[in-house]
């Protein structure tokens, strides 16, 4: 595929290790670093006929809006303003400032990846865009699920999501039947609607992990072997988190479900 000159220039001037340079953005920088090779693994595993160089560029820039989101909010809250929208605004601003007027298929695909990764239900994508958006979406889901353990360890100690602060008298180890059922089945659910305690939030995050293992088994096996995903370390970390946030009976059951998922 011929990549539009504007995309190549944007890529050159917005490399992820440069725009994600602040300390607070290091987690996102590592996320991008992992996404790039993971997207290639997914493309090869699912036998997609795509341009690997262009896929790498799309993967590297899919979260550029996170830089602007942090500047605006001091956090990464998509419910206030979507990083997808900020990403496309960032690219459009670049185009207008450099007076590019030649638009082609690569521009359409690049914009669709920025705007619709993780939100594919919002539009009907073109035949050209669909594989790129789907691959980046799968890679994004997978990497988020695997990397979430690193920030969960910190959040448990700091009450980063504010559950204890908002409800100091609530039993933060309480879990509703709805959340537990979805966790056991590895089915995603709406965090904002159903998580009211810290235990439920932890199970929500772990459900994302289980869901990715279940849905992307072939990708997971390749990622384990080719990328730096240390499964024993991940399990040990989840075990620690479960012990800190769940009741004794539930933490044992939750850990066993996680172990069984990885064995299958």
User: Token match 């725009």: residue?
Assistant: 19
pLDDT at 192: 80
Region of 15 (left: φ > 0; alpha: ψ -120 to 50; beta: rest) is beta
Own/partner contacts of 9-12, CB < 8 Å, gap of 24 or more, are: 9/98, 10/61, 10/91, 10/94, 11/57, 11/60, 11/61
pLDDT of residue 61: 98
The encoded tokens of residue 64 equal: 């550029």
Rounded to whole angstroms, how far apart are CA atoms 124 and 133?
11
Cα distances (Å, whole numbers) of residue 106 to 55, 57, 111: 11, 11, 8
Query: Does residue 165 contact residue 197 with C-beta atoms inside 8 Å?
Result: no
Tell me what pLDDT residue 97 has. 92
pLDDT for position 207? 93
Report the alpha-carbon distance of residue 184 to residue 258 in Å, rounded: 9
Give the pLDDT confidence score for residue 106 in this predicted structure.
96
Interatomic CA distance for residues 6 and 76, integer angstroms: 27
Residue 101: CB atoms within 10 Å: 6
pLDDT given at position 43: 93
Give the model's pLDDT for residue 233: 87
What is the pLDDT tens value at each position of the chain, 264 positions in all?
899 999 999 999 999 999 999 999 998 999 999 999 999 999 998 889 899 999 999 999 999 999 999 999 998 888 889 999 999 999 999 999 998 878 899 999 999 999 999 988 888 999 999 999 999 999 998 888 888 887 788 888 888 778 888 888 889 999 999 999 999 999 988 888 899 999 999 999 999 889 988 888 888 878 877 777 788 888 999 999 999 999 999 999 999 999 999 877
Rg value, the chain, Cα = 19
Q: What is the pLDDT of residue 159?
A: 82
Structure tokens at 32: 């991008």
């Amino acid at each position: 595929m011929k990549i539009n000159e504007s995309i190549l220039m944007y890529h050159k001037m917005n490399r992820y290790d440069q725009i994600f340079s602040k300390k607070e953005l290091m987690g996102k920088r590592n996320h991008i670093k992992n996404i790039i090779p993971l997207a290639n693994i997914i493309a090869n595993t699912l036998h997609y006929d795509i341009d690997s160089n262009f896929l790498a560029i799309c993967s590297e820039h899919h979260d550029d809006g996170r830089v602007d989101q942090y500047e605006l909010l001091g956090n990464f809250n998509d419910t206030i303003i979507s990083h997808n929208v900020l990403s496309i605004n960032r690219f459009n601003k670049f185009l207008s400032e450099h007076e590019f007027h030649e638009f082609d298929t690569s521009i359409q695909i690049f914009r669709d990846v920025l705007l619709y990764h993780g939100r594919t239900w919002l539009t009907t994508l073109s035949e050209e865009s669909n594989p790129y958006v789907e691959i980046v979406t799968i890679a994004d889901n997978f990497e988020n699920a695997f990397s979430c353990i690193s920030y969960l360890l910190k959040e448990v100690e700091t009450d980063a999501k504010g559950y204890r602060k908002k409800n100091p008298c609530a039993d933060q180890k309480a879990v509703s039947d709805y959340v537990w059922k979805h966790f056991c089945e590895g089915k995603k659910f709406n965090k904002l609607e159903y998580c009211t305690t810290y235990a439920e939030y932890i199970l929500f995050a772990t459900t994302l992990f289980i869901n990715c293992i279940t849905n992307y088994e072939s990708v997971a096996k390749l990622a384990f072997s080719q990328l730096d995903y240390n499964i024993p370390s991940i399990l040990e970390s989840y075990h620690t988190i479960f012990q800190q946030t769940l009741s004794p009976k539930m933490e044992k059951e939750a850990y066993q479900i996680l172990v069984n998922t990885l064995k299958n």
